[in-house]
Chains A and B, each alone.
Chain A
């Protein structure tokens, strides 16, 4: 029987030069953190904000959401805040500032220190099927493919340091980037 492993069609996602093919990944999610610079009383915030939930037994932070831009924030009692769900860097910054404003209005001397984008997630479609077994053969030091556990191939690129989830349908999810240029 012919060996099933030989990639008959050499279709593999290219190295970072794939951008020249005209496919631009769309940003799906940005995670950022900011320090509000003052200690917060989570109970006050949770009880006086409309869109906040706080369940101290389960998790020690207030979960607040705003509609525009549609994001969620985790606000900790130390004054640090994590903002997720924005689709662009500017939106993330705007959302973080809105949360800070809410906290300010609730009576805490909130500031806006050290806004930093921690993670950016993008996705794109290369529009052709990808042979994952062939990819794991040629790039085995970077790829990890376990069909029993996860249908996609996990490709850890060293430079830039991002992780790609590559699926056989041609869809690719990129994550782990700190700046847009990396994606």
Chain B
């Protein structure tokens, strides 16, 4: 007699039939339990006269279907969901794994990964197929089997990058570092597919050697291993006089033709490609090449540098030509009658500035019109200089340089297009002003700081009336369908509102708020949690209770003691169920386990010692932060919530009461669960 309380009549007279594995209440006759695990073996006679043992097969993982009759119905659903997920997953893993010809050990490992993933809730929001594929691929990587992610995506008809994303996430969450793929792993597989007959081994060896060479030449970093394999196999096949075309290799290796050709060209660029077949088998060249992308990058850099050097040379040549020009002009001038002072200055300066302008013209790489315009501007510029002090047209650039500099500097700066100089001044002004504005903005006055924003520029971004009308028409035409849908939706909502049946279709929040388990001891908490979770009706709760009774007894004295102690005890209590949680991935206890709050401190209504929760150990349910917060202090105790909770199940009724009676608090009913709106 296990001494439970019958749900129907409340009687404690329960008869346990060991042979049949039933627990029946003698008061009302309701069957409280069946399929209890028994240690007897009974035989029944078949119709044919043979005898067979009575019993059921219970699967290794997860509880089998235990049809507890009467009550416990909705609880079974809770357990079954998790068990169903796992069963489903196991089935799919086997199905896929058999298609990939993975052995049983791999499949079991994959199932373990899957269990871990489920317990970390990584299956939520993801297609089960993706998670399964990721688990299988993880196994392939850790075991080193020659399966590619591409194979899996082929089987599932899913984009390989989507699978890859799931796989990376899984690897990260499970903290499993899969070793990097070695292309050598794939050689035997592809060689077999290419059907080399007896020379399979030799061709494979050659291909392996080629791959080694490629690795030394830095060709394999960052590349798909299958592409490299394809190239190596192709060359190896040719070396052994097998006529394998590119197309055949591609169909086996699953890369694009251009990729294969590119690999072949890269290999061609390495010095090893110059060796003959025999030399290659014997000699290993010492030098190593740089990866092709590196050499390509270097080449580009070099080209750019060459260009720069060339352009500089051009400038120099231009400079030389212009000096010759000037020399000729000077000669001509000197042969001409001398002009008056001011004009002479002008022309002399003009010639100087002409050289510089030509130099800068090359520098800017602008065409000659700009140059001419610049020189024209400069003539005006110089007249201004000579006429009336320094102009401020290049204030931004000019000012910092100071006015004291000789006109040569002006001439250097003059040819720069005025737009650029304005731009510089703008940004300088803006920098200075924004620096001073930053503190005020940081104060958060929120006003838009208009400094540095050219209003004209902004206005250019706004359409005028006519343009706006045209655009409106076009837009309306483009989006007519959408607008129509919006109107219909609004009409529908308005109608529903009138009829009063308007439902706000908010995105459904999937979190099911369970009532926090309120228990005074770790053992009690575990029992209540087990009830809620319905992990297995096969656990011998009496033994469990005995294990924890010491903890419960110890707690009795605790009542009278100051709360400082309870804080630490609570901590330890919280940790133990958490530990249990970790050891039991199947149950996913974390989902349901609430931080325990003792009734005692609540009754004492003490100052809430902040119970430092470790929500992370409870499976990190971010969807219920409120529940966690609520639990952070003893005030979270809701005695009125208890009657809401059903006790649907027969297992822990009695122990709950007994433990509670020990504690002397009658507030607790039996914690069942509020499940699925039952």
Contacts and interface: CB of A to CB of B under 8 A. Distances in A.
Interface in B462-490: 462-463, 467-468, 471-472, 475, 478-479, 481-482, 486
Interface stretch (A12-20, A25-33, A130-138, A175-183): A130-138
B221 A133 contact: yes
Interface string B139-174: 000000000111000000000110010001001100
B615 to A, nearest CB: 22
A112 B448 contact: yes
A148 B458 contact: no
Contact of A141 (B177, B181, B290, B296): B177
B448 A168 contact: no
Interface string A143-157: 011111101100000
Contact of A136 (B180, B182, B288, B481): B180
A78 interface: no
Interface string B266-310: 000000000000000000000010110110110000000000000
A128 B301 CA distance: 13
B17 interface: no
B297 A125 contact: yes
Interface string B189-227: 000000000000000000011011001001011111110
A51 interface: yes
Contacts of A148: 148-150, 160, 164, 181, 224-226
Interface residues of A, number: 59
A141 B220 CA distance: 22
Given A56-B479, A57-B479, A132-B222, A106 B468 contact: no
Nearest to B184: A4
B248 interface: no
Interface string B444-463: 10111110110101111111
B446 A147 contact: no
A110 B220 CA distance: 54
Interface string A97-115: 1101110111000111111
A151 B184 contact: no
Contact residues on B (Cβ < 8 Å of other chain), bracket: 35 or more
Contacts of B84: none
Contacts, number: 152
A5 interface: yes
A169 B293 contact: yes
B172 A144 contact: yes
Contacts of A129: 218, 221, 290-291, 294
Nearest to B161: A149
Given A90-B434, A148-B164, A48 B180 contact: no
Contacts of B171: 144
Contacts of A98: 453, 457-458
Which secondary structure characterizes the binding site on chain A? loop
A90 B225 contact: no
A47 B453 contact: no
Contacts of A168: 218, 221-222, 291, 293-294
Given A48-B462, A55-B479, A115-B441, A97 B448 contact: yes
A114 B468 CA distance: 31
Contacts of A8: 288
Interface in A78-104: 90, 93-94, 97-98, 100-102, 104
Contacts of B149: 148-149
Given A51-B461, A132-B222, A101 B448 contact: yes
A129 B182 CA distance: 20
Interface in A1-60: 1-2, 4-5, 8, 37, 46-51, 54-57
Nearest to B226: A148
Contacts of A171: 297
B430 interface: yes
B295 to A, nearest CB: 8
A8 B212 CA distance: 13
Contacts of B478: 55
A170 B218 CA distance: 13
B218 A97 contact: no
B448 A54 contact: no
A147 to B, nearest CB: 6
Contacts of A90: 430-431, 434
Contacts of B449: 97, 112
A167 B458 contact: no
A140 interface: yes
Contacts of A106: 462
Contact of B180 (A50, A102, A112, A145): A145
Contacts of B450: 97, 101
B38 to A, nearest CB: 50
Contact of A147 (B222, B291, B482): B222
B164 A113 contact: no
Given A129-B218, A147-B223, A147-B225, A50 B293 contact: no
Given A4-B212, A147-B223, A168-B221, A112 B447 contact: yes
Given A47-B472, A112-B446, A131-B221, 18 more contacts: A1-B184, A4-B212, A55-B479, A56-B482, A57-B482, A94-B430, A98-B458, A102-B458, A102-B461, A102-B462, A105-B459, A105-B462, A115-B441, A131-B218, A148-B160, A148-B224, A152-B222, A167-B293
6 tightest A-B contacts by CB? A151-B222, A169-B293, A168-B221, A169-B294, A149-B164, A112-B448
5 contacts: A47-B468, A98-B457, A129-B290, A131-B221, A167-B222
